[in-house]
Chain A
Amino acid sequence: MIDDHLPEMPCRELVELVTDYLEGRLSSEDRTRFEAHISECDYCEAYLEQMRQTIRVLGRLPEESLSSEARDALLTAFRDWSRG
């Protein structure tokens, strides 16, 4: 699967391209180089997985919503608003 015509993507370069890779914004040539490197480098594979873990954990971070006082105040405002 490695295209011999493409230069190898060293680790130092790869870590700068992880977001573009995950966003689907790499050129097809760079994506090929990226995936070829990942398939052979355990460290970069771990790095990519850690970026994915980071993104998933960030997505689950917000927990607290408004205090009940603030919510009640908004509900009262909504009632007034919808009565016009």
Chain B
Amino acid sequence: MAGVPSSSPTGRLRREWDDDALVASLRRGDERFFAELVEDWSRVMLVLALSHVESRAVAEEVVQEAWLTVLRDLDRFERRSALRTWVLGIVVNLARSRARAERRSVPIPPEPSGPVVDPARFRPTDAARWPDHWALGPVRWPAPEDELLAGETRQVILDAISQLPVAQRELLVLRDLGGLTAAETCNVLGLTDTNQRVLLHRSRSRVRNALEHYFDATEPT
């Protein structure tokens, strides 16, 4: 596996491995490659598992079980989807059934609808001037992007993700943490494209709202 960087620049799954090479390396028993693959993909697999189960230890078990399933069923991988889509689908199924066993999964409440920004932030629709424009507008965040990932801000983001309804959380993890395309995500989660975009919009907006709240970054217009 010459030319494979030792770690990806972002948390996202690497894209440079093609499935044929990947499957061939595994079949060949290339241990070093398997170790790299586990290291790289398990990060997103763990967050995905944590969308369903509470403890880090259980999430690790789910990810381990998923890898064992991958090895066991590799011969049955039909390449109708990308390998990583197949692998992440295995994680979703295992994590969901684990959550059911833990009775953590309550009946899924209907997705909340309604605006993603507090309606009170806008001028009334019947205002004489600037109807439906910001009354309390967003202002730029004080922190440069690297700082957004440091210490307390990171925790704000993690908390916001953990408070999302499970369908939004799964989706946000696959799209934005895992870097999957819309089509791949629909494939893993069995969503329609429209539904996918609705969930994506709601989940991203809620993380943005949490950061804005943390920075207290609004001003009267």
Interface residues of A (CB under 8 A from B): 10-13, 15-16, 18-20, 23, 25, 41-44, 46-47, 49-51, 53-67, 70-71, 73-75, 77-79, 81-83
Contacts and interface: CB of A to CB of B under 8 A. Distances in A.
B145 interface: yes
Given A46-B139, A50-B141, 11 more contacts: A15-B205, A44-B134, A46-B140, A54-B208, A57-B145, A62-B43, A62-B177, A65-B42, A66-B64, A75-B34, A75-B38
Nearest to A10: B132
Contact of B38 (A47, A50, A60, A71): A71
Interface string B37-48: 011101110110
A5 to B, nearest CB: 20
Contact of B115 (A16, A59, A60, A79): A16
B179 interface: yes
Contact of B43 (A53, A63, A82): A63
Contacts of A50: 138, 140-141, 208, 211-212
B131 to A, nearest CB: 7
Contacts of B197: 19-20, 23, 25
Interface string B140-162: 11000100110000100110000
B122 interface: yes
Nearest to A72: B35
Interface of B: 10-12, 26-29, 31, 34-35, 38-40, 42-44, 46-47, 60, 63-64, 67-68, 71-72, 115-117, 119, 122, 125, 131-134, 137-141, 145, 148-149, 154, 157-158, 172, 176-179, 182, 197, 200-201, 204-205, 207-208, 211-212, 221
B46 A62 contact: yes
Contact of B176 (A11, A58, A73, A79): A58
A56 B39 CA distance: 21
Do most interface residues of chain B lie in helix, strand or loop, or is the interface mixed?
Answer: helix
Among B35, B115, B154, B208, the one with the most A-chain Cβ atoms within 10 Å of its Cβ is: B208
Given A15-B117, A43-B134, A59-B10, A78 B34 contact: yes
Chain A, interface SS category: helix
B47 A62 contact: yes
B148 A74 contact: no
Contacts of A42: 137
Contacts of A79: 29, 31
17 contacts: A11-B122, A11-B134, A12-B125, A23-B200, A42-B137, A46-B137, A50-B138, A61-B158, A62-B44, A62-B47, A65-B43, A66-B42, A71-B39, A74-B38, A77-B68, A79-B29, A82-B26
